[in-house]
Structure 1
């Protein structure tokens, strides 16, 4: 966090704001992800239009009325191509402009101060996404912790904005339709309940258990105290995602205008980003490849699939999860064997 002290390195200046859109039947649009740069360094050789999210940017990585309006127009065009008309429920965020009129999207604003009760995304959809995203982040980092060729700084830098985009897309794709439907019903929407979304065993609880287990493994390797899984999943709940207007509205209006103008140049690069290391050279074809080497290859395949807008991206991400889990299991077994051998001496 920006307000916390950082030892042994620099506080990361990376920041992303994510907006989700889904229907009561569980249909989902691609997440809108707002970063600080139109083309971060880690997007080198990547066409942002081929990313599995809708990418945009401004100086603070916050939602603004201009960004939201542009996104609404894109959604309206999408619905027109699909020959659909939708009713879009919104909270009263400052950036949600009520003045736009669209052909295939009708805006309906929730009553003031009712978001926590009537907004389906706040009934557990966003938290279900966060739990999965944190799980993928932990698994990725733990898989690299014991790599003797990587320093602590390199492990920290291995998670960049591009990697975060892939995790966001994957976690959103994994968020179940039944979870979304139940959250709409909890918010008071008339949703027909089925045996699937009335199940007694919650997959979301299973995901949280996985997060807690990964936290324990990471704490053991780093020699630090465990943190509460709920705190880890929800630690950024109070972070601002848009400008909150105060009495100095004129200055804030100018600041927002400048921020939106800065987004016009598609070739802009974030100077605060660390220079990305060159990708590892391909290992020679052989039968004794290690899991870390396979993970490097999958990372390269992931970038290839994103750049070429290839439909195998989800399968590559699934393979990464399997390899990361195998690395964690392999190192846990090796560590346990070493302890057992010590006591048998």
Structure 2
């Protein structure tokens, strides 16, 4: 029941992709910069999953979906709202349950806008068919296709570069202030949100044209 892609405006065709992120981990060479003056503690292996979505003309970015390990981490205390959608499970992975809930939330969003949109999504075990969507049509693509790889290298790579730059700046500020380097999940989410806002339409369009 999905119309040909040519029948949809580029603004209504979205590409959804996910990536893992060790959100506290600084680039390795950073520790060579006055590392002895700043206590960085243990190298954290705290992992989250980040899911991004953009339309093909670069005019719209969906709110990030972040999947962590803890439903109510300590850093969320007294926080009334987050700048991203947040879910949690023991492995911080995308699951079919999380995927279905997120799809229905986005379907409500586009239904309120009276829009019919297509989501191009990699065919992975957690990405299952979702029933009762009215405004969102799902099209599953092979994960190893050249187009998928190019898009990952574009949008996700840009997001990670911006995020790592924020981490380095935070670390340098810590060094210069002779303070302990710390980063909570809330800190990471706020930085990811800021970095996501700074991804330009030009970067998005370029990733689709490769």
For the criterion TM > 0.5, the same-fold answer is yes
C-alpha distance in structure 2 between counterparts of 1:160 and 1:90, whole Å? 30
The alignment yields a C-alpha RMSD, in angstroms, of 2.0
Of the candidates 58, 61, 64, which is equivalent to residue 89 of structure 2? 58
Matches within 5 A, 1:29-40: 29-40=62-73
Contact 2:119/2:139 (CA < 8 Å) preserved in 1?
Answer: yes
Contact 2:124/2:143 (CA < 8 Å) preserved in 1?
Answer: no
Q: CA deviation at 1:33?
A: 0.3
C-alpha distance in structure 2 between counterparts of 1:42 and 1:112, whole Å? 34
Of the candidates 179, 183, 187, which is equivalent to residue 207 of structure 2? 183
More helix by share: 1
Aligned to 1:12: 44
Contact 2:100/2:130 (CA < 8 Å) preserved in 1?
Answer: no
Contact 1:117/1:123 (CA < 8 Å) preserved in 2?
Answer: no
Tell me if 1:46 matches 2:46: no
Aligned to 2:33: none
User: Residue 164 of structure 1 aligns to a residue in which SS?
Assistant: helix
Gap regions ≥5 residues in structure 2: 1-21, 23-38
Residues 89, 175 of structure 1: CA spacing in aligned structure 2 closer, same or farther, 3 A cutoff? same
Gap regions ≥5 residues in structure 1: 2-6, 187-345
Tell me if 1:122 matches 2:152: yes
Post-superposition CA distance 1:256-315 (Å, at most 9, x none): xxxxxxxxxxxxxxxxxxxxxxxxxxxxxxxxxxxxxxxxxxxxxxxxxxxxxxxxxxxx
Aligned to 1:250: none
Residues 84, 67 of structure 1: CA spacing in aligned structure 2 closer, same or farther, 3 A cutoff? same
User: Residue 21 of structure 1 aligns to a residue in which SS?
Assistant: strand
Q: CA deviation at 1:119?
A: 5.7
C-alpha distance in structure 2 between counterparts of 1:119 and 1:76, whole Å? 26
C-alpha distance in structure 2 between counterparts of 1:86 and 1:172, whole Å? 21
Aligned to 1:212: none
Post-superposition CA distance 1:59-88 (Å, at most 9, x none): 111110100000000000000111111010
C-alpha distance in structure 2 between counterparts of 1:13 and 1:119, whole Å? 25
Q: How many pairs were matched up?
A: 172
Q: CA deviation at 1:160?
A: 1.2
Which of structures 1 and 2 has the bigger CA Rg? 1
Q: CA deviation at 1:120?
A: 5.8
